[in-house]
Structure 1
């Protein structure tokens, strides 16, 4: 099992709109690709503030092959949706392999 993590710092002035957009439009669109098994959105408790508010969205995915298919088939189109908030956020992505769960 893998996790595709997207960490985003969003400006305060669009925060509420962005959170609603993520919950009601973007995350459902990611799941509708059929490649992800679920998503968890968490607010990051940042010790040293860089301004804005930071969130992590973790998408569970069965394997690396499926994740690569997401990048090839869906990623570009879904990233275009973020133009609504262009210049008001910074994101970075991390791919993680789950080694152990209890």
Structure 2
């Protein structure tokens, strides 16, 4: 099992709109690629120095070929959609983890 974790730092003024957009649009778009089996969506429970709010979206997939397909075929456009919708009010950090 592979976990594709996207941690996002969101400006507090945009946080409610960003969460709603993620739930109603973006996560569905990612799941519709067929590259992931399931996902989980979290808010990190810590205070940010700059007052922003941090979230993590975790997407689970069964093998590396599906992950590679996501990166090659879908990720650039999906990331561009976020940038178009929210500009610089959010910043993402991505990691890929393998279950042991």
Cα distance in 2 for partners of 1:26, 1:93 equals 16
Q: Tell me what 2:92 maps to.
A: 91
* SS at 2:49 equivalent: coil
Gaps of at least 5 residues in structure 2 are none
Question: C-alpha displacement at 1:65, in angstroms?
Answer: 1.4
**Deviation (angstroms), 1:79:** 0.7
Using the TM superposition, give the Cα deviation of residue 90 of structure 1 relative to its aligned residue in structure 2, in angstroms.
Answer: 1.2
Structure 2 partner of 1:25: 25
Q: Report the Cα offset of residue 80 of structure 1.
A: 1.2
CA RMSD of aligned residues (A): 1.1
**Superposed counterparts of 1:12-91, under 5 Å:** 12-47=12-47, 49-82=49-82, 83-91=84-92
Q: Distance in 2 between matches of 1:8 and 1:80?
A: 15
Report how many residues are paired: 99
Structure having the higher helix fraction is 2
| Farther-moved stretch of structure 1 (43-52 vs 3-12) | 43-52
**49-58 vs 87-96, which moves further:** 49-58
Structure 1 segments unaligned to the other structure (5+ residues) = none
Q: Tell me the TM-score normalised to structure 1 length.
A: 0.92
Cα separation, 1, equivalents of 2:17 and 2:47: 24
**Could you tell me how far apart the structure 2 residues matched to 1:6 and 1:53 are?**
14
Q: TM-score, normalised by structure 2?
A: 0.94
Q: What displacement does 1:48 show?
A: 5.1
